[in-house]
């Protein structure tokens, strides 16, 4: 009996790791999702009218992601233009990236989403600051590419140095100590003869 793999199975084996890796969300996508869920859970969202004008300073693909999440709540949403109540969103973040081991890094997104409800005559009707904390593990080789050009999605602290292995931590100092001890012993023995 011969073992055979079909061509689609071979393609799946070779491209599956790349497909799994491609599913990792960028920092901006995560922040847009957090912004949408924070806004929908906010008291200001409940107090706003049926038609809302959204003001959020973020790149277009992320704004589209945010708006698509908000449209699912059943409200009419305009972006940046029109008359009526406005909801303004601002992100304040402190993002960190730190290596766990040789292949894995820990991504921590922390901060807050500030939400402002503004009337048509530019009067602030209410504010809310919603803190968030997100943490996951990502592939260390591609971890820094998860941050884009938007200020809120950049990493503030990146600790990606490889930690020293067993050789550097224990064996290398032991070899130096033993070699120094042998050298001192030999020099003392040669001199005393």
- Which residues are bridge partners to 118 per DSSP? 86, 124
Q: What's the rounded mean pLDDT across residues 95-115?
A: 89
Cα–Cα distance list, 172 to 131, 156, 167, 176, 179 (Å): 46, 34, 6, 6, 11
Strand 104-118 to 86-93 pairing:
antiparallel
Q: Which residue has the higher pLDDT, 172 or 12?
A: 172
Distance between CA atoms of residues 53 and 34, nearest Å: 19
Taken as a whole, the chain contains a residue count of 193
Tens digits of per-residue pLDDT, 3-37? Answer: 444 444 434 444 444 444 446 889 899 999 999 99
User: Is pTM, for the whole model, over 0.85?
Assistant: no
Instruction: Count CB-CB contacts under 10 A for residue 184.
Output: 10
Tokens matching residue 51:
């038609």
Q: Has residue 186 got a pLDDT over 90?
A: no
Dihedral, CA of residue 124, residue 126, residue 129 and residue 130, to nearest 10? -130
Q: Has residue 175 got a pLDDT over 80?
A: yes
Tens digits of per-residue pLDDT, 51-73? Answer: 888 888 888 888 889 888 888 88
Cα–Cα distance list, 40 to 44, 47, 101, 155 (Å): 9, 11, 37, 26
Distance between CA atoms of residues 172 and 50, nearest Å: 69
SS3 category, 34:
helix
pLDDT in the model for residue 163:
61
Averaging pLDDT over each range in 6-10, 123-127, 168-172, which range is the top one? 123-127
pLDDT in the model for residue 18:
43
Q: Has residue 110 got a pLDDT over 50?
A: yes
């Amino acid at each position: 009996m011969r073992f055979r793999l079909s061509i689609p199975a071979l393609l799946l084996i070779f491209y599956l790791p790349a497909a799994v890796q491609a599913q990792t969300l960028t920092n901006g996508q995560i922040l847009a999702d957090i912004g949408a869920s924070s806004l929908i859970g906010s008291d200001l969202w409940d107090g706003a009218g049926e038609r809302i004008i959204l003001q959020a300073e973020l790149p277009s693909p992320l704004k589209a992601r945010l708006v698509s999440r908000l449209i699912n709540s059943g409200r009419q949403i305009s972006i940046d233009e029109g008359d009526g109540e406005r909801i303004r969103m601002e992100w304040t973040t402190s993002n960190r990236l730190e290596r766990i081991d040789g292949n894995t890094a820990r991504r921590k997104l922390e901060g807050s989403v500030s939400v402002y409800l503004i009337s048509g005559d530019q009067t602030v009707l209410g504010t809310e600051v919603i803190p968030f904390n997100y943490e996951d593990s990502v592939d260390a080789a591609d971890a820094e590419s998860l941050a884009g050009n938007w200020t809120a999605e950049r990493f503030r602290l990146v600790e990606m140095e490889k930690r020293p292995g067993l050789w550097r931590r224990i064996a290398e100092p032991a070899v130096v100590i033993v070699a120094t001890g042998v050298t001192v012993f030999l020099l003392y023995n040669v001199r005393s003869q």
